[in-house]
Structure 1
Amino acid sequence: MLVILASALLVAGFCLWIIRFIANPTARTLLRVFVGLCLAAVAAYLVLAAGFPISVLSS
């Protein structure tokens, strides 16, 4: 599980680095939002995997 999370963070960092080379500002913004949502999903999974109740995420 830790390998998967570490690789997800590595891929997200690589994607954020690649985004700077995209010329279209709309595409850059949308990709940043997408990568941010993916990182938020990873953070939510870590919170749930740690045993916190779902109400922690929705408050």
Structure 2
Amino acid sequence: MGSYKNTFERINKAKLQNPEIKVIYEFPKGEAKTKFTDWLDRNPGYQNIIDEIRVRPEK
């Protein structure tokens, strides 16, 4: 997940310049969301960058 760190740093810079930006991560399944939130728990410095994490609603 090292590439995520670079992405989060770019997003954080954008949010500093545009505080109204909302970052929402949407996953197709709950398992993917859980894996991502577990990673965030181990990397708490990135938690404040994301405004919402959700599972995509079924059609």
TM-score category, normalised to shorter length: 0.3 to 0.5
The structure that is strand-richer by fraction is 2
Q: TM-score, normalised by structure 2?
A: 0.35
Greater relative CO, 1 or 2 (CA 8 Å, sep 6+): 2
Per the normalisation by structure 1, the TM-score is: 0.35
